[in-house]
Amino acid sequence: SSELTQDPAVSVALGQTVRITCQGDSLRSYYASWYQQKPGQAPVLVIYGKNNRPSGIPDRFSGSSSGNTASLTITGAQAEDEADYYCNSRDSSGNHAVFGGGTQLTVL
C-alpha cells in the first residue's frame, strides 16, 4: 500500500479553484512534488519543492504544505487541466521514492 494518500477523484467547475491533497508521515520531513498525467501520456512535473514550477507550467498551479499534508491548488481551472495528478516524496527511510495513488480531476 502507498505511504502517501490521495483522494481518488475530485471535480471542479470551469474557472473555479480546486485543491488536491496528499497525506503521509514523510511529508513532515520532505517536500512533495506533483505530476500531471493525461491519458496515454507520460507524467509531467508541475510543482516541486516548497512551491516551484518548472518552466512552461502555468502560474495557476501552486503548492503548499502543512504538517503531514501537501496540497496542489489550481486557481481558475481550465478544461485542459483535466487529468490524473500524483504526488510523490520520499518514504520514511528517505532513500526510496513513493507516489500517492493519484487523483482524477474532472473539470465540469
| 61 sits near another protein (criterion: CB under 8 A) | no
CB of 60 to another protein, least distance (A): 20
Residue appearing with cell numbers 487523483: 103
Select the residue interacting with another protein from 3, 5, 10, 43 (CB under 8 A): 43
Query: Is the CB of 79 or the CB of 97 nearer to another protein?
Result: 97
CB of 44 to another protein, least distance (A): 7
**Best CA proximity match to 90, nearest among 3, 5, 23, 1:** 3
Give the burial class of 85: count Cβ atoms within 10 A of its Cβ; 0-12 exposed, 13-18 middle, 19 or more buried: buried
Shortest spacing between CB 86 and another protein, in angstroms? 5
β-strands 103-107, 9-12 pairing: parallel
